[in-house]
Chain A
Amino acid sequence: MQVLDEEPSCREGRERYNRKVVMIYFDRVSKVYADNSIALEDVSFSVEPGEFISIVGHSGAGKTTLVKMLLAEEKPTDGSVFFESINVHEVPLSRINHLRRKIGTVFQDFRLLPQKTAYENIAFAMEAAGRHEEEIHSDVPHVLDLVDLTDKANNFPDELSGGEQQRVAIARAIVNQPDVIIADEPTGNLDPVNTFEVVQILKKINDLGTTIILTTHNKGVIDSLKKRVITMDRGRIVRDDREGKYIL
């Protein structure tokens, strides 16, 4: 009778997940590193399709670990992570790339391929997914236009500003039309103007129906979004507000 012992919110999440209303479901996930430091402790929450969720918290609160769990970059010590009815950590390493193609990722440090131009960086994600040349030729200029970088298509990352690099990264994340985009501190290295632009692009993508998970500790961004906010502290979820503000 384990279900009865659980907290009501947890049980509700699982039920909603079973009814397929939920796209992502963290089921009592904990992560303890080898040195016994706790990164996540009993974290449960669910994400519905089309949601825009911000995860906030101080550095070391466990935001990035949470994101890495969803990408199967790290395995939980306890609990499970489900993405579209699949237990992410039961997918073998040889098949994990198929799951990752459904998730677009944007990182604080951009993580572009330095030896490839902006165009090639975006095209790479499509090539890796085995898309046809014609699709690549039509889609890449389209997303470059969406992030307003058409004239920088043939520049290498080191020839682009931070904001431009991040926009390339976003273009790369959305080009395969993923079901969800994870943006891990995407504005952490950007000035206010570029931060505003990146957030506007994310909002636009969300308006088009893509689920967004954004981690940040930028108060201005959170307060302007007026979307759901999950607040983390020392590996635990301390608040989960439907239309939240940055409260820490």
Chain B
Amino acid sequence: MNWTTVKRIFRSGLLDFWRNGFVSLASILVMTVTLFVVGMTLFAGVILQTALNDLRDKADVSVYFTTNAPEDKILELQKSVNALPQVESTQYVSADDALANFRERHQNDQLTLQALQELGANPLGAVLNIKAKDISQYDAIAQFLEQQQALSTGNASIIDKINYFDAQHRQALERLQSITDSAGTLGLVIILILVAVTIAISFNTLRLAIYTSREEIQVMRLVGAGSFYIRAPFMVEGVLYGLISGLVTLILFYPLTYWLGSATADFFGGINVFSYYVSHFLQFFAIIVGTGVVLGAAASYLAVRRYLKI
């Protein structure tokens, strides 16, 4: 294939694109809808992920220590817990901090505060809040803590209570896990179906557009044109549809995300779709324009094939 052929293919593709104005416009519109859906699913995926992460983040396990537990022992335990591969972070709340928190929480509850006053000494023990990397890993962490507790039976155990072993807390954790997991799967399935349907519609539109040219393709064959020479201009057209639709979609997303930005920031785990769009623009460009171009080229390639069989 030489330079002249390449030039002819591009010229022919561009000319056909221009002269078949209405067909081109219709194809671009349908393809824009497709790419818009693809873009929306990207946003939906991100929003879903952050919302689910936000939910998962609310889960933790708290270890309550006895009031007389020495701090160095607690910090030692925190160290060994931190060393566990499943643990994302730990937060140590000393007995004094726990008391301060308690006071703050009950600042309007005079009765409780009075009772606390009466008691004199700090009735609260220190607390270690543990966050796992994944919800499913709390079980392993709790097992580890239980082991630690068992090991120290010789001395008095410093651990008073691990809330993971409360039936309620455990149930809440498990429910949270199953909800987030199934929401994630369901979201993915819906997204995939939506994308598949719109791609199919787009494919069909291009097939119809090329169907109108089927006699031309046959004439080209009879005049002695090779398959590639017939097919390539149609692919140029398809790529052009994808390119234009992709750019239109990207432009449409700008005001749309701007408009929705603050609303999504309030609702779904604090992600602002507008700032996300702007900061990930190159990725959006690559995915949306790339999808359009590949879709256009592939649909044209396949649609022309069936008329080349003479």
Contact = CB atoms under 8 A, between A and B. Distances in A.
The reply to whether chain A is a binding partner of chain B is yes
Interface of A: 71-73, 93-94, 97-98, 100-101, 105, 111-115, 124-125, 127-130, 132-133, 172, 176
Interface string B205-228: 000000000011001111111110
Contacts of A105: 222-223
B8 interface: yes
Contacts of A94: 226-227
B26 interface: no
A129 B8 CA distance: 12
A98 B19 CA distance: 29
B219 A111 contact: yes
Nearest to B4: A133
B216 A115 contact: yes
A128 B229 contact: yes
Given A73-B310, A115-B15, A132-B4, A125 B216 contact: no
A124 B309 contact: no
A97 B310 CA distance: 10
A113 B224 contact: no
B227 to A, nearest CB: 7
A94 B305 CA distance: 12
Contacts of B20: 115
Contacts of B15: 115
A97 B216 contact: no
Interface of B: 4-5, 8, 15-16, 19-20, 215-216, 219-227, 229, 308-310
A124 B11 CA distance: 12
B223 A100 contact: yes
A127 B19 CA distance: 19
Given A73-B310, A94-B227, A113 B222 contact: no
Given A115-B19, A130-B5, A133-B4, A71 B227 contact: no
Given A111-B222, A125-B224, A172-B223, 13 more contacts: A97-B224, A98-B224, A100-B222, A111-B219, A115-B15, A115-B19, A124-B223, A124-B225, A125-B223, A127-B229, A128-B223, A128-B229, A130-B5
Contacts of A128: 220, 223-226, 229
Contacts of A132: 4
The list of the 10 closest CB pairs from A to B, nearest first, reads A128-B225, A101-B224, A100-B224, A111-B219, A115-B19, A125-B223, A97-B226, A97-B224, A127-B8, A113-B216
A115 B8 contact: no
Given A94-B227, A127-B8, A133-B4, A100 B216 contact: no
10 contacts: A71-B222, A73-B222, A93-B309, A94-B227, A100-B221, A105-B222, A111-B215, A112-B219, A114-B216, A130-B5
B15 to A, nearest CB: 7
Nearest to B308: A93
Nearest to A130: B5
A72 B222 CA distance: 9
A173 B20 CA distance: 25
A130 B15 CA distance: 19
B60 to A, nearest CB: 66
A94 B309 CA distance: 10
Contact of B224 (A112, A114, A133, A176): A176
Given A113-B219, A115-B20, A97 B225 contact: yes
A176 B225 CA distance: 12
Contacts of B224: 97-98, 100-101, 125, 128-129, 176
A181 to B, nearest CB: 13
A172 B223 CA distance: 8
Nearest to B1: A130
